[in-house]
Amino acid sequence: AQSVAQPEDQVNVAEGNPLTVKCTYSVSGNPYLFWYVQYPNRGLQFLLKYITGDNLVKGSYGFEAEFNKSQTSFHLKKPSALVSDSALYFCAVRPLYNFNKFYFGSGTKLNVKP
Amino acid sequence: GAVVSQHPSWVICKSGTSVKIECRSLDFQATTMFWYRQFPKQSLMLMATSNEGSKATYEQGVEKDKFLINHASLTLSTLTVTSAHPEDSSFYICSAGLEPGQGVDQPQHFGDGTRLSIL
């Protein structure tokens, strides 16, 4: 079965410290990988994606993500967290065999404390 | 960039009424749109795939007669929750799929969601 796992329901980090939000996937082939952020009572906003090429991709608001093919992971990172980064983060995977199918992780609540 | 507008953003209504939620792609055409439901502190649950000019494809366990989907044009899909009850209260989000000719590496674009509260 195809699946996306975000093992942490919540991640707590102090402002200014680096943050990591984990994502692993089990999807056939070499899927496309995405990260989205959701603020309260809002839809999902696209942050970044991995399609091919360099394993480290950079996205909006200073976020980046590292793709690891052997571990089938796509962890979201930021060198220095801001309080305003506090939100719900979703990892999503699009398989090559169905371009209109997205598999979402369960979401990780990021809390950045001043 | 691609913008998806969802309306209304918040609805409160009495049990037994029907509620219509609109999802529009403002600056592009969307052959396919998706409707999700999100419970508090939970992930998105895909309810159905809405295809322009044809019947929607519902996910297993989603009541077709309860959640009516219409995709009458390339820029508008609607979700109607019929005879709504308190258990239908949730956050509903739509998104647009790839438009014709668009690269498959493009992300889905989401509306801002509709908070539905049934009293």
**DSSP letter string, B84-112:** --GGG-EEEEEEE-PPTT--TTPPPEE--
In whole angstroms, give the CA distance from residue B71 to residue B92. Answer: 16
In whole angstroms, give the CA distance from residue B28 to residue B83. Answer: 32
Q: Which residues of A touch B6 (CB under 8 A)?
A: 43
Mutate to test the interface with A, among B44, B50, B51, B57 (most CBs of A within 10 A): B44
CA distance B119 to chain A (A): 19
Q: What angle do CA B54, B60, B63 make, to 5 degrees?
A: 70
Q: Nearest Cβ partner of B105 from A36, A49, A105?
A: A49
pLDDT tens across A13-47, in order? 999 999 999 999 998 888 899 999 999 888 899 99
Are residues B113 and A102, on separate chains, in Cβ contact within 8 Å?
no
B53, burial (CB in 10 Å: exposed 0-12, middle 13-18, buried 19+): exposed
Element counts in chain A: helices (H) and strands (E)? 0, 12
pLDDT tens across B73-100, in order? 889 999 999 999 999 999 999 998 766 5
Would you say B68 and B41 are in contact if contact means Cβ atoms under 8 Å apart?
Answer: no
